[in-house]
């Protein structure tokens, strides 16, 4: 194997770039950081090398070129710059791959063009991803760069799960189908869950509950996604921090016709002012827990609505899978909130699901089982690591290409 074993993972948003440098020889995290407030007056870069303390710098980053140059400089200051011979590739998180990109993809001009054609499906995310890719390619034109798509893991869904029951010609004309998101996390977590059970991914059926600020559930049969709760966009499904999740679609018509709201106002309402925030004024589960402790009825109701939706998806995916080997919680809420885990599975003994309340209450940062020994279905907490998954998939593409 060559000495080039490091992968720089870039997650480019419209005003921020998150990054990690990972050595695939041993999975070690060599540096991580965040450039934020790109295009605003004063920006910030927070860079944390594994060898020393975090360094914060405040300066304007007028565009992504400035932001990526700044992170390249920080890496260079630690002897790990973009010109390092140890750098094997850059892996880019890409949000929407449509039906075209269902695998991690080596980036070429045609791929960038393909991403551009998908912008209408992800108008907020894909343009920022493309900018990040273009700037990185300018900085290191000779270095392999790979796009890893948030939608890709869900591409194995059968047509009957991916299609909406609307007029076929209209759906086809506008590429309307369920794509699903958080795929990198669902893939990583379902595989780690199989490892935790000591089984091959092909041998287990898992319900993955990715509960962060955005939240999604998926049904994974033998390592392949067969259904997921997010749809054409990340708005569908579970109750989230600020997004409504499932709604009667006629509510949108009603808000427009009767409420006089514009399309943009409805968009902002459902994506930014709904979910837990809309229900009780807080989108952070820690704050909601604290308020419930004080007997706050609004926080209690928001929690109950969140849990009710989650339980409905667990039941639905139980039926979709037929046999469930494990239910796994991940992301900010899933990894940290024992109360959410307990409430979402309470009273499911008849379905073979029983939590061990002591195990559930123990905090930890490693994959762990929290079910009772008597539980037919294993229940687990598996911290997600999307950056590591992106780095692994990127490195695999680079090695395959080099063969």
Element (H, E) at 377: none
| DSSP E strands, 153-299 | 205-211, 215-221, 224-228
Q: Check whether 335 is labelled as a binding-site residue.
A: yes
User: Could you tell me which residues come within 8 angstroms of residue 165 by beta carbon, excluding any fewer than 6 positions away?
Assistant: none
CA separation for the pair 65, 87 (Å, rounded): 20
CA atoms within 13 A on the CB side of 77: 15
User: Helix, strand or coil for residue 14?
Assistant: coil
CA separation for the pair 302, 282 (Å, rounded): 9
Query: Which one, 144 or 334, has the nearer CB to ligand ADP?
Result: 334
Task: Report the C-alpha dihedral over residues 394, 395, 399, 402, rounded to 10 degrees.
Answer: 60
- Least CB distance from residue 360 to ligand ADP, whole Å? 13
Active site residue 150: yes
CA separation for the pair 274, 291 (Å, rounded): 18
CA separation for the pair 372, 67 (Å, rounded): 48
Strand partners, 147: 92, 105
Closest residue to bound ligand ADP by CB: 332
Q: Check whether 34 is labelled as a binding-site residue.
A: no
- Least CB distance from residue 247 to ligand ADP, whole Å? 20
Query: Which one, 88 or 277, has the nearer CB to ligand ADP?
Result: 277
Burial of 289: CB neighbours in 10 Å, binned 0-12, 13-18, 19+:
middle
- Least CB distance from residue 145 to ligand ADP, whole Å? 23
Q: Check whether 385 is labelled as a binding-site residue.
A: no
Q: Check whether 348 is labelled as a binding-site residue.
A: no
Q: Check whether 13 is labelled as a binding-site residue.
A: no
Q: Check whether 238 is labelled as a binding-site residue.
A: no
Query: Which one, 221 or 381, has the nearer CB to ligand ADP?
Result: 381
Task: Report the C-alpha dihedral over residues 250, 252, 256, 262, rounded to 10 degrees.
Answer: -160
**DSSP string of 315-356, one letter each residue:** HHHHHHHSS--EEEEEHHHHHH-HHHHHHHHTT-GGGT--B-
Q: Exactly one of 26, 56, 150, 304 is catalytic; name it.
A: 150
Query: Which one, 239 or 331, has the nearer CB to ligand ADP?
Result: 331
Query: Which one, 201 or 214, has the nearer CB to ligand ADP?
Result: 214
- Least CB distance from residue 276 to ligand ADP, whole Å? 8
Q: Check whether 191 is labelled as a binding-site residue.
A: no
CA separation for the pair 277, 40 (Å, rounded): 26
- Least CB distance from residue 341 to ligand ADP, whole Å? 10
- Least CB distance from residue 299 to ligand ADP, whole Å? 12
Query: Which one, 131 or 185, has the nearer CB to ligand ADP?
Result: 185
CA of 202: how far to CAs of 189, 206, 252, 257, in Å?
A: 14, 11, 41, 49
Q: Check whether 11 is labelled as a binding-site residue.
A: yes
Which residues form the interface with ligand ADP (CB under 6 A)? 212-214, 241, 283-286, 331-333, 336-337
Summarize the annotated binding site for ATP as residue ranges. 18, 210-214, 284-286, 332-336
- Catalogue the active-site residues: 150
Residue ranges for the known binding site are 11, 18, 93, 210-214, 284-286, 332-336, 386
């Amino acid at each position: 194997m060559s000495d080039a074993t490091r992968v720089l993972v870039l997650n480019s948003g419209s005003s921020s770039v998150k990054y990690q440098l990972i050595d695939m020889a041993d999975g070690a995290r060599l540096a991580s950081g965040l450039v934020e407030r790109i295009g605003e007056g004063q920006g910030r870069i927070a860079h944390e090398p594994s060898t020393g303390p975090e360094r914060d710098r405040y300066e304007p980053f007028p565009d992504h070129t400035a932001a990526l140059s700044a992170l390249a400089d920080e890496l260079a200051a630690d002897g790990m710059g973009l010109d390092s011979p140890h750098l094997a590739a850059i892996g880019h998180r890409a949000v929407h791959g449509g039906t075209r990109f269902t695998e991690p993809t080596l980036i070429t001009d045609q791929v960038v063009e393909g991403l551009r054609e998908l912008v209408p499906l992800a108008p907020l995310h894909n343009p920022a991803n493309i900018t990040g890719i273009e700037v990185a390619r300018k900085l290191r034109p000779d270095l392999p760069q790979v796009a890893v798509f948030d939608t890709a893991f869900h591409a194995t869904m059968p047509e009957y799960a991916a299609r909406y029951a609307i007029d076929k010609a209209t759906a086809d004309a506008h590429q309307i189908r369920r794509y699903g998101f958080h795929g990198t996390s669902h893939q990583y977590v379902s595989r780690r869950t199989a490892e935790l059970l000591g089984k091959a991914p092909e041998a287990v059926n898992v319900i993955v509950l990715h509960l962060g600020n955005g939240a999604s559930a998926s049904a994974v049969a033998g390592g392949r996604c067969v259904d997921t709760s997010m749809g054409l966009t990340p708005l569908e499904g579970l109750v989230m921090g600020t997004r409504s999740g499932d709604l009667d679609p006629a509510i949108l018509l009603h808000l427009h016709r009767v409420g006089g709201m514009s399309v943009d106002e409805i968009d902002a309402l459902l994506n930014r002012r709904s979910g837990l925030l809309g229900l009780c004024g807080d989108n952070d589960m820690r704050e909601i827990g604290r308020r419930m402790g004080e007997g706050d009825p609004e926080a209690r109701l928001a929690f109950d609505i969140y849990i009710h939706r989650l339980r409905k998806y667990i039941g639905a995916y139980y039926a979709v899978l037929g046999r469930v080997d494990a239910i796994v919680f991940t992301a900010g809420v899933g990894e940290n909130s024992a109360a959410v885990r307990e409430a979402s599975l309470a009273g499911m003994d008849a379905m073979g699901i029983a939590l061990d309340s002591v195990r559930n209450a123990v905090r930890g940062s490693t994959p762990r089982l929290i079910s009772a020994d008597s539980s037919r279905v294993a229940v687990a907490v598996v911290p997600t690591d999307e950056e590591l998954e992106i780095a692994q998939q990127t490195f695999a593409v680079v090695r395959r290409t080099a063969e």
